[in-house]
Structure formats: structure tokens, C-alpha cells
Structure 1
Amino acid sequence: MAQASSNTDVRQGILDTAHTIVGAKGFSGVGLNEILVAARVPKGSFYHYFGSKEAFGEALLADYFAAYLADIDATLAEPGLSHAERLMTYWRKWQATQGSIDHQRKCLAVKLAAEVSDLSEPMRLALKAGTAGIIARVTGAIEAGMAEGSLRVEGSAQDTAEMLYHVWLGASLMAKIERADAPFVAAMATTRRVLNLQPS
């Protein structure tokens, strides 16, 4: 039993180390050896935990989204706030992490979507599943906000959630290109308008 725990710890250690490195350099730009040296794991043992670099990438995305979705769940359940306020807290956190130079906190969906979607079907599907989970949670928050009267939208909550996710994903990419916060400012204004919230 202790051995199983040790194996889990080593596997998780590789993934934790890779989040920072891949967040900074991308997936294709990082060799396995760089990750394993940083994680202090012998190269020969890598395939004990992952069958290939592609399988490793799929596991990395699954691990990332599991933590990300847990964080969203906590944000959207924060006590003492309306559902609209919780949603706006989520978008502010997005802006703070994507505008940060801390690669460990960067969104791997933003970083890897264009890079790996045409290269690896399993990684594309991991991205699809993860982003679907995000949109589902935003949809639920919009529905709850509509029910309590803290926000209102034109059209369905699902369509609105998808549109807002696309707006923020695009803002993240443009912020990288422009090296400026203006795309996030615009995304925040759009979000408030779409949810029919007063400017803060």
C-alpha cells in the first residue's frame, strides 16, 4: 500500500513540475528530460507512469482541469455573495492569473489549445472535456443568478456561458499579443453588459 502511495506521489510530482515548465514553454518546446531532471525522476522510470509523451500530455491536462474545476466550484459557492457577484469574482480571477507572469498559474487551455489540438486527438479531447466543464459551471451560475434576480441575459444560459468563455479566451490570447491589459478590460465590460450588471 505504501508503494502505491509512493508511485502516486512520484507521478503527481512529475505533473506538478510540468505545469510550470509547460506553462512557460508550451508542450512541443519542452523535452521530457527537462521535466524529469526538474522533478528529480530518472528518465527510465517515466514510462512506468506514462506510456508516451502524448499520454503524459493528456494526463497533464486532466490534472490541470481537475484542480481548475475544483477552484471554480469553490469560487461559485463562496458564501455571502449573489450568484452574479460570484461569477464576476471568477472573471476577475481569470484576469489576475492570465495577466500574471507566474507561469504556474497560467491557464493551460489558453497556452496549449492552438498548439496541440491539431497534433494530438487525445489531448484535444482532454481540452474539450475540460473546457466543457468550465462552461457547464458558468451556465449553472448564470441560471442560478437569473433565478435569484441578480443578473439577466438574452437567450439561454448555455449560449451565454459559451459566448462569455469565448470572449475571455480571445481576450487572453490578445493580451499575450499586445502585452497589455486592455483586452481584459474590454472582456469585463462585455461580461457586465451581457449579464445586465451595473458598471463597478
Structure 2
Amino acid sequence: MARPRRSDHNRQPLLEAGVTLLSEQGYHGTGLKQILDRVKIPKGSFYHYFDSKEQFAAEVIHYYIDQYVSQLKQVTDQPGLAPMERLLAVIEFTLDKLEQEGLEKGCMLGNLTAEVGGQSELCTQAMLRGWTLWQSWLTSQFEEAQQRHEVRQDLTAEQMARLFWDRWEGGLLRIKLQGSTQGFRQDMALMLKVILR
């Protein structure tokens, strides 16, 4: 649990720096000094907000998830969009964001899951929250798509959501490795237009 805070003035810049550094360098590759240098605050101020690097990383994960969900709502909460159109909008939004910020960063959630998932209870719980939110949203999209007869009926919406999520995370890792979004676009189109139809 973080210590009581007098002001959140430095907290958000710390979290934003955390998203950048953890995305680019990972948990073990990011040192406390790098974080402090990025935000230009003294070490004592860091510990005013966070008890440890582990707790900081968990808070960064929560911040990353909340920011991403908020951005996705702006993309998908448009009147008249069908479920498959929402999924395509999410794919395009994410790829545009990756192309703007740098393909080598990949998905911070996926990167950290591979690096520290299961090693840190705080980080694992934060990542599981993100996975649960994403899985729940995807399932709701496939449920609606099934009601509209836009996707196959012989799998449950939850099964299709898991297939989509696994292909998604694997594809984002490949983007990071290859430095190209082309294969991801092709695979996600295949997933939505052929495998899940």
C-alpha cells in the first residue's frame, strides 16, 4: 500500500515515464535512477508515492490499462458500429498507435507478462485485471455478433474471445520482433473474416 500522499503533482509524470520505460526496456532493464532522471525528481519523492519498484510497476500497469480502455471507448462507443466493426476499429487504432510510438515497444502488458508474470504478485494481479477487462469486453462483442449471426455458432463467445486475444498478443510480439505490422493485419483479418465467421 502506498504511503498517504499530500499531492499527486509528481505521481502522473512518474506513471507516464513508467509506461515509456517499461515498454521499451522491461521491468528488469529499468532502474530507479532512469525513472527519476526522466521525471527529474529526487529519490525521496518517488518513495513518497510508491513503497517499492514492484509496487510502482503494478501501478504503472493499472495506469496503462486505464488509459488504453479510455482510448478504446472513444474509438468503439460510436453509434451504429456493429461488433466486428468495433473489433476492426480497435485493431486499426492499436496499430496506428504502435506505428506512431515505435513498433519496437510492443504491448507493455504482453511484454511484462512474459517477463515478470508469476514472479511478482502485485504485477501479476495488475496484469490479470487487464486481461479480465479485455476478455470481458471481447466476449461481449462476440456474444452480440452471434446474436446478429455474424460469427460462427459452434464456439462460445468466450472461446472466440480467447482465440482472438491469443492471436492478438502473439501478433504484437511478432510486430516487435519483425518491425512490421503487415503480418499482424493479415492474421487478424484471417481470424475475423475466415476462422471466426
Question: TM-score if structure 1 supplies the norm length?
Answer: 0.85
Quick check: 1:125 aligned with 2:135? no
Post-superposition Cα deviations, 1:131-179, rounded to whole Å, max 9, x if no partner, equal 1101111111122223344x22231111101110001101111222233
Quick check: 1:62 aligned with 2:100? no
Counterpart for residue 23 of structure 2: 23
Distance 1:84 1:158 in 2: 15
Partner secondary structure for residue 15 of structure 1: helix
Counterpart for residue 189 of structure 1: 190
Quick check: 1:180 aligned with 2:180? yes
Between 1:131-140 and 1:17-26, the stretch displaced more is 17-26
Q: Which sections of structure 1, spanning at least 5 residues, go unmatched?
A: none
Q: What is the CA RMSD across the aligned residues, in angstroms?
A: 2.3
Asked if 2 retains the 8 angstrom alpha-carbon contact of 1:21 and 1:30, the reply is yes
- Shift in Å, 1:33: 1.2
The structure-2 alpha-carbon separation of the partners of 1:75 and 1:142, relative to structure 1 and needing over 3 Å to count, comes to farther
Distance 1:57 1:16 in 2: 11
Correspondence 1:108-123 to 2 at 5 A: 108-123=108-123
Counterpart for residue 152 of structure 1: 151
Overall identity of the aligned pairs, in %: 26
Distance 1:146 1:74 in 2: 24
Letter of the 2:151 partner, please give it.
Answer: R
Letter of the 2:37 partner, please give it.
Answer: V
Letter of the 2:179 partner, please give it.
Answer: R
- Shift in Å, 1:60: 0.5
Q: Which sections of structure 2, spanning at least 5 residues, go unmatched?
A: none
Question: TM-score if structure 2 supplies the norm length?
Answer: 0.86
Distance 2:46 2:64 in 1: 19
The structure-2 alpha-carbon separation of the partners of 1:144 and 1:6, relative to structure 1 and needing over 3 Å to count, comes to farther
Post-superposition Cα deviations, 1:97-136, rounded to whole Å, max 9, x if no partner, equal 3455537985211221111114312101211110110111
Asked if 2 retains the 8 angstrom alpha-carbon contact of 1:138 and 1:161, the reply is yes
Distance 1:192 1:168 in 2: 15
Counterpart for residue 78 of structure 1: 78
Counterpart for residue 33 of structure 1: 33
Asked if 2 retains the 8 angstrom alpha-carbon contact of 1:91 and 1:188, the reply is no
